[in-house]
Amino acid sequence: MIDSLLLQLMLIGFLGVGSQWVAWRFRLPAIVVMSIAGLLAGPVLGVMNPEQDFGDLYKPIISLAVAVILFEGSLNLDFKEVKGLGRPVFRIVTFGAFLSWILGSLAAHYVAGLSWAVAFTIGGLFIVTGPTVILPLLRQAKLKPRPAKILKWEGIIVDPIGALLAVFAFEIIVFLTDNDPSALMLFFAASAFAVFLGWVCGKGVGWMFETGYIPEFLKSPAVFAVVIACFTIADEIMHETGLLSVTAMGMTLANMHISSIADMRHFKENISLLLISTIFVMLTASLTVETLLEIFNLQIIGFVALMLFIVRPLSIFLSTVGTDLSKSEKLLVGWIAPRGIVALTVASYFASVLLEEGFEDASILISLTFALVFTTVVAHGFSIGWLARKLRLSMEGPPGVLIVGGSAFTTGLAKTLEELKIPVLITDSSWERLSRARSRGMKSYHGEILSEQTEYYLDMTPYEYLVAATELDSYNALVCTTFVPEYGRNNSFQLSLSNKEGDNLEDLVHTIGGRVLFQEGASWEELNARVENGYVFRKTTITDQYPYEDYVENMDEHALMLFVKRSTGKVDFFTPNMEYKAENGDVIVSLMPPSKEFEKIQEKLEGQRKGKENNKTK
């Protein structure tokens, strides 16, 4: 056991972020890797027990982290996004949540053997999915926009509702036991106050941002402080209403459409990712060996099976009757419902409270909850991608390329990518610049890529590479800088600077923008001039008979290597600082002078002529 809290904090952070990296590197569900890391460090090896070692600080740390995570998730709940999905989402988070509560409570009573009071309390809590587990799965699975948005909205909205249902059920128990109506009235009043407080905080922060009362450098810290205050005030009045308050605050800010909120969203996402990583490790590391062994109780196994295969699918199918959801979408949404941090934290709270009230069967709540959390995280984490592909609700395929800027060069590049079965899209705000692409049947989008409306009309899920290829260097840099958080700096590219007389952008590109494509001097003007002068896009497959070394040796001195398509489907663009070596099975695409093409045509014609002469002599 590590005695130093500083060492424990270091280890928790290392395991959390390291688990995220392992999950990304080997395409595994991040929550599963984090759970295993926490279990190994805690009950298995006994290296640490955060709940015991952190003492009174443990629960406040977990609660504040959940509040920040839920707030960050609710910042994405713009009502414009739910356009066309309003009815299914509304039905799922209301009627579906109610059905899940009733059915889950019945399963807890008749299968897990819990008393009615405990069953209805924990049944309310088990309707939650939450952003801590749903959002990582959605990033991993690359679902189509419609089912992805439904799962995201459900996870974020139902998270506080589930906690409140558990509190509501507990207050009903207190009311029936003590015949005290004031407790029930206090619950409803506290919930209404929490929503009002969140709305006021959101409106207040938004107004201060818009009027300039908060300087730019203080905006993120100010929001962070207000979120904690909003959560704490509501939670002190009534336990778990703080989650409702921060959700209301986040949704209020998201629908005010303030540019400052969009700018800081990436900071909030980074904080949220760090908190998810560390908190999940802390929770799993705090479990005891006895809790883990109790999971194998037949009653607990039966309850978990019912929740997975009966309760969740049935509640989704019944609640979406009469909506426009397809059977495939119902099947996917009806299967995916992983439980996460909120379920674990709130269950531990109610276990202690119910035991104090004399309900001895509440002693198994932590084991029951962890069994459901771990099983759903593993089952849904490993199956979401496979099931989405089977139901044709996945954007599976080779990583695509999003090209910003219509021109002769980008049209030729896009056509070549399309011929290689790589998804590609050209976007431009000018119909005229898109005319070449449209005339050749290329997939295109007419609109301003930097507009906030774009994300509602353009699905960017299939595209993992961004190529900014307009004639304006500053615009290319702005586009890459804007989308670096989504695509990553290694996958964001822009054309080489034009180096026009009077411009001094050389220093600028090192601090903002994307990676420069191809080679120095391959500017918009140069590339388009080559295409207009007859240069062609040549695809060459590397084989044992024609290795990469021979290709480089025979390449025309005026040729420009553009990218390598790997046999795995991955695309590696050539840059001035990075020249990739092609292996057997890879395809190199280059922009070749027309003389090579003429030579090939002449050789082909000469071969045909000789063939005809040979036939005549026979």
Q: 267: closest CA among 302, 202, 218, 205?
A: 218
Q: Give residue-wise pLDDT tens across range 115-133.
A: 888 888 888 888 877 666 7
Residue 201 has a pLDDT of 92
Which range of 305-319, 367-381, 404-418 scores highest in mean pLDDT? It is 305-319
Do 501 and 530 share a domain, yes or no? yes
Check residue 509 and give its pLDDT: 46
Helix (H) or strand (E) holding 35: helix 30-39
- Assigned domain for 294 exists: yes
> Could you tell me the strand order of the sheet in which 463-468 lies?
444-446, 424-428, 400-404, 463-468, 492-494, 515-516
Q: How far apart are CA 363 and CA 456, in angstroms?
A: 47
Which of 346, 367, 390 is the last residue in one of the domains? Answer: 390
Mean pLDDT computed over 280-304: 85
Q: Is the pLDDT of residue 594 over 70?
A: yes
Q: What is the CA radius of gyration of the chain?
A: 29
Higher-confidence position of 272 and 421: 421
- Looking at the fold, whether 383 and 406 belong to one and the same domain comes out as no
CB 496 within 8 A of CB 519: yes
- What is the reported pLDDT for 301? 92
CA distance 440 to 427: 15
Co-location of 71 and 200 in the same domain: yes
CB atoms within 10 A of CB 177: 12
Q: Tokens in use for 193?
A: 């106050």
Is the pLDDT at 161 greater than 70, yes or no?
yes
Instruction: Say if 6 falls within a structural domain.
Output: no
Q: Mean pLDDT for the chain?
A: 80
Sheet of 587-592, strand order? 536-541, 587-592, 560-565, 571-573
Share above pLDDT 70 across residues of the chain, in percent, rounded to a whole number? 83
Q: Contact at 8 Å (CB) between 391 and 328?
A: yes
Distance, in Å, from the CA atom of 151 to the CA atom of 92, rounded to the nearest integer, reads 10
Helix (H) or strand (E) holding 329: helix 327-335
Domain that holds residue 243: 54-390
Instruction: Specify whether 347 is located in the same domain as 470.
Output: no
Lowest mean pLDDT among 203-207, 296-300, 455-459: 455-459
* For range 183-190, the mean pLDDT: 79
| Position 618 pLDDT exceeds 60 | no
Q: At 203, is the secondary structure helix, strand, or coil? A: helix
CA dist 249 and 580 (Å) reads 48
Task: Report yes or no: 284 and 341 within 8 Å, Cβ to Cβ.
Answer: no
Is 119 a domain residue? yes
CA torsion, points 480, 484, 488, 492, in degrees to nearest 10?
0
Residue pLDDT, tens place only, 465-521: 888 888 888 888 888 888 877 777 788 888 887 755 445 555 554 556 778 888 777
**367 and 431 within one domain:** no
Residue that is last in its domain, among 355, 390, 425: 390
Determine the Cα–Cα distance for residues 305 and 324; give it in Å rounded to an integer: 29
- Please, which pLDDT band fits residue 607 given cuts at 50, 70 and 90? low
Segment 388-412 mean pLDDT: 83
Collapsing DSSP to helix, strand or coil, 359 comes out as: coil
Closest CA to 205 of 238, 248, 240, 241: 248
CATH number, residue 264: 1.20.1530
What's the pLDDT at 514?
A: 75
User: What is the pLDDT at residue 572?
Assistant: 85
Q: Is residue 15, in this structure, part of any structural domain at all?
A: no
Question: What total number of domains does the chain contain?
Answer: 2
How long is the chain?
618
Question: What is this structure's pTM?
Answer: 0.65
Whether 365 and 482 map to the same domain: the answer is no
Phi/psi-derived region of residue 441, left when phi > 0, alpha when psi is between -120 and 50, beta in every other case: left
Closest to 316 in 3D by CA, of 32, 545, 62, 100: 100
CA distance 161 to 165: 6
C-beta separation of 517 from 490 below 8 A = no
pLDDT in tens, 87-107: 788 888 888 889 999 999 999
Q: What is residue 501's predicted lDDT score, i.e. its pLDDT?
A: 47
Of 3, 506, 70, 78, give the one whose Cα is nearest residue 252: 78
**Tens-digit pLDDT profile for residues 565-579:** 887 778 888 887 766
Claim to verify: residue 540 and residue 580 sit in the same structural domain: yes
431 and 369 in one domain? no
Task: For residue 505, count CB atoms less than 10 angstroms from its CB and return exposed for 0-12, middle for 13-18, buried for 19 or more.
Answer: middle
pLDDT at 92: 87
Within 8 A by CB and 6+ apart from 103, the residues are: 310, 311, 314, 315
Answer yes or no: is 1 within a domain: no
Give the residue-averaged pLDDT of 15-30. 81
For residue 66, report the phi and psi dihedrals to the nearest 5 degrees.
-60, -40
Same domain, 514 and 434: yes
50 or 273: which carries more pLDDT confidence? 50
Axis crossing angle, helix 116-125 with helix 145-178, rounded to the nearest 10: 150
For residue 18, give both structure tokens: 């390291």
CB 194 within 8 A of CB 244: yes
Please tell me the predicted confidence (pLDDT) of residue 200. Answer: 93
20 is a domain residue: no
Q: What is the DSSP letter of 179?
A: -
Judged on CB neighbours under 10 Å (0-12, 13-18, 19+), 541 is middle
Mean pLDDT of 74-96: 73
Q: How many CB atoms lie within 10 A of CB 348?
A: 20
- Is residue 42 domain-resident? no
The mean pLDDT value for 149-169 works out to 76
Do residue 370 and residue 410 come from a single domain? no
**Residue range 392-421: mean pLDDT, rounded:** 84
Q: What is the pLDDT of residue 569?
A: 77
| DSSP secondary structure, 517-585, as one string | PSSTT--HHHHHHHHHTT-EEEEEE--SSS-HHHHHHHS-TT-EEEEEE-TTS-EEE-BTTB-PPP-TT
Who's near 343: CB < 8 A, 6+ residues apart? 125, 126, 128, 130, 162, 369, 372, 373
Residues 270 and 145 in one domain: yes
24 belongs to a structural domain: no
* pLDDT for residue 103: 92
pLDDT at 566: 84
Task: Select the more confidently predicted residue: 172 or 492.
Answer: 492
d(CA 30, CA 490): 22
Q: Same structural domain for residues 273 and 404?
A: no
Q: Which is nearest to 163 in space by CA: 64, 102, 235, 213?
A: 235
**Mean pLDDT to the nearest integer, 166-175:** 73
| pLDDT value for 268 | 66
From 390, 416, 449, the end of a domain falls on 390
Tokens 């898109």 found at? 434
**CATH code: domain of residue 483:** 3.40.50.720
Query: For residues 386 and 330, is the Cβ–Cβ distance under 8 A?
Result: no
What's phi and psi for 521, nearest 5 deg? Answer: 95, -5
